[in-house]
Structure 1
């Protein structure tokens, strides 16, 4: 399989140098004009490559297109999803640097930024590759423009090789993933697939079908202010009640002591005085029963302190942010096992990883489409030390071609072996 490296290089550099940062405080759809600019660029590219039913919706800012089936078999449609926005780091005037045949040395990005394998050991995995970086004072945008480039390279290859059998393949490009807004709005009636894959972060061979379940909680506390000289039996100090609440949180269930499939409470802000205090935290857990228990624990502590101090001094507002797709995907293990078979064909060792965050696949799965996450060929996301490997983006394209072909072969004899971490 010969993926077009020059095509990936041209597309990736062009897209990275477009400013597509998303902004959480903007209610526009999408939240920045640069995202529309890239989506229109992609719309023209999909049509040029020969995809069918290419359409953009201003309502949800999603672009979709179809690679029509080449098999006469009855095969369900599958989809692939990448996002166009970048994270909250400087994204203006990005200049991509190309480092051919990387030798494992330090890469000087500018006078203040050196990308070194001593600090970032993952660089040792891409010795001999062509590496793309930014120029030091911006991010690169490999999250998720590496996924976009790999997906387009797959589309180009399949459309040039109609002898490869596959069912209908739908591509979707969406906005505002980094701020958790885009896929919530996605009208999946425009994306008629049985299952899909996001192409967002991770190393070659990674499969992430479980993410955090996520919620945020806000506790507001009302005190009673009295002159301290006359406070006996009267003053109620909201700040001290807040401190009591925080002290009741489990000391080991915190991000700095969690890894792999561990969850956590993260205290994001804590402020107050005698009159009023406010505690904000987020809750993360991979396992749904544990997630529900962790949320209930917060409610129980609020109830306990209200019973102690009376007058409903504590009020709790708790809101779910996203849900792990793991529960749904475990009911449809073929979606992951198909990837195992594709990796085996390409001599790639599969690795199930916990995605310690959320993806567009969380929201798309909630809409009924099982959507695990694959890799995209980049690393060190969301900052000036981002890089991407040309060879690994091409490997993503190979994987997507293989998944598409194998699905046409295995759809009627699915491997539904239960999934294990």
Structure 2
């Protein structure tokens, strides 16, 4: 099956995760999709295919060599982002893209002026949305590429490879994808998450990440009698947020610049809640951001002469470069594979995180590779078919290079 046909088929299945759910996986639709993938993996000829009760799906492409070589893995996630609708996805192919704006529906246009990276895709074939949903290439393109590569290797036994383990995770988009991953059972020397953008980019660095919950107590009384008595928790929330610089927000930062991102604000006069995510590639700078949250709490409480504000800080994941810089083997293989495919490899510091960041710190070095998609998590998402095909070739080439080490 062609890799684009897999993506189109997968994208029509809603698998959005839910950050407000405490179940594992957070949505039942993810489990249903994984059951379908399990059947497909078994039909392809993968062995030891296992779907556990938390939605983690594993399988193995056995070695076709007499010599023993390193076991490696490829990983993708089954869920799509909850940021935008994933129901009734209706993808279509734009063949031989002409480099101009793309009319997604009668009202929605994907403009080159908004997304200048489209200029590089002129002449390629793109899978796009109908403007009403996300596409789900993040990360169903990764799943499609991994299974298509397995299918190719099975059909071409002349290409020698060692044992390859496959892992598909739930709930990556809500930050829980690697929480219950069986690293010990996966038993690989190293692995790759197929969860990036342009196919020639190797992501060896992520943010360090923390989340902050802020709770604010107010004092409600009839507004006609409020002078000197009322404390409006919503106003206090605004005062708290205003203590942080505007140039340290996602919309004002780029590259290796960190940020504080207010993701949710709710409440009333009596009580208010704020939720933040803090991100920085530099671990020390992230600690300073966390300290600033504590100082803001202390300032507001002193201003009002009472404990109105309380905060809770949770560390989410760390920059995988801390480990990968001392374990460069998977990066070296990916770089060599891209070069042999005629592509110019580039390293990237991801402004985000992947399952690979957590897995790397669990003992499985796991850089991230591109899948050919872009504009993730929204109606303007797309995936380039030619880059998907290159991603399949990249997986095959990495397996071949690892095997040639014997």
- Please indicate, yes or no, whether the TM-score normalized by the shorter chain is above 0.5: yes
Equivalent position of 2:335 in the other structure: 340
CA separation in 2, counterparts of 1:24 and 1:360? 16
Equivalent position of 1:32 in the other structure: 27
Cα pair 2:76 2:194 within 8 Å, conserved: yes
CA displacement at 1:41 relative to structure 2: 1.9
Q: Select the residue among 267, 270, 276 that pairs with 1:281.
A: 276
Correspondence 1:140-289 to 2 at 5 A: 140-222=135-217, 245-269=240-264, 278-289=273-284
CA separation in 1, counterparts of 2:131 and 2:295? 48
Equivalent position of 1:416 in the other structure: none
* Residue 329 (structure 1) aligned with residue 324 (structure 2): yes
Q: Select the residue among 94, 105, 108 that pairs with 1:110.
A: 105
Cα pair 1:67 1:169 within 8 Å, conserved: yes
User: Structure 1, residues 54-101: CA drift from partner, whole Å, max 9, x if none?
Assistant: 11111x211111111233443221111111111222222222212222
Q: Select the residue among 79, 82, 85 that pairs with 2:79.
A: 85
Equivalent position of 1:95 in the other structure: 90
CA separation in 2, counterparts of 1:357 and 1:302? 26
* Residue 67 (structure 1) aligned with residue 61 (structure 2): yes
Q: 1:243 to 1:115 in 2, by over 3 A?
A: closer
User: Structure 1, residues 295-321: CA drift from partner, whole Å, max 9, x if none?
Assistant: 123224434555666554432211122
Describe the SS at the equivalent of 1:190.
helix
Equivalent position of 1:418 in the other structure: none
* Residue 317 (structure 1) aligned with residue 325 (structure 2): no
CA displacement at 1:124 relative to structure 2: 2.2
CA separation in 1, counterparts of 2:56 and 2:47? 16
* Residue 403 (structure 1) aligned with residue 398 (structure 2): yes
CA displacement at 1:258 relative to structure 2: 0.9
**TM-score, normalised relative to structure 1:** 0.86
CA separation in 1, counterparts of 2:226 and 2:174? 49
Describe the SS at the equivalent of 1:282.
strand
Q: Select the residue among 123, 128, 132 that pairs with 1:128.
A: 123
Q: Which moved more, 1:364-373 or 1:217-226?
A: 217-226
CA displacement at 1:129 relative to structure 2: 2.1
Describe the SS at the equivalent of 1:182.
coil
CA displacement at 1:357 relative to structure 2: 1.7
Structure 2: 5+ residue runs without aligned partners?
none
Q: 1:251 to 1:132 in 2, by over 3 A?
A: closer
CA separation in 2, counterparts of 1:246 and 1:107? 38
Cα pair 1:147 1:377 within 8 Å, conserved: no
CA separation in 2, counterparts of 1:323 and 1:20? 26
Describe the SS at the equivalent of 1:101.
coil
Cα pair 2:201 2:370 within 8 Å, conserved: yes
Describe the SS at the equivalent of 1:401.
helix
* Number of equivalent positions: 404
Equivalent position of 1:3 in the other structure: none
Q: Which moved more, 1:366-375 or 1:270-279?
A: 270-279
**TM-score, normalised relative to structure 2:** 0.89
CA separation in 2, counterparts of 1:379 and 1:239? 37
User: Structure 1, residues 312-331: CA drift from partner, whole Å, max 9, x if none?
Assistant: 44322111223222212222
* Residue 384 (structure 1) aligned with residue 374 (structure 2): no
Q: Select the residue among 67, 70, 79 that pairs with 1:76.
A: 70
CA separation in 2, counterparts of 1:240 and 1:139? 35
User: Structure 1, residues 165-190: CA drift from partner, whole Å, max 9, x if none?
Assistant: 22211111122211222321222233
RMSD: 2.8
Structure 1: 5+ residue runs without aligned partners?
1-5, 412-421
CA displacement at 1:228 relative to structure 2: 10
Q: Which moved more, 1:350-359 or 1:390-399?
A: 350-359
Cα pair 1:64 1:190 within 8 Å, conserved: no
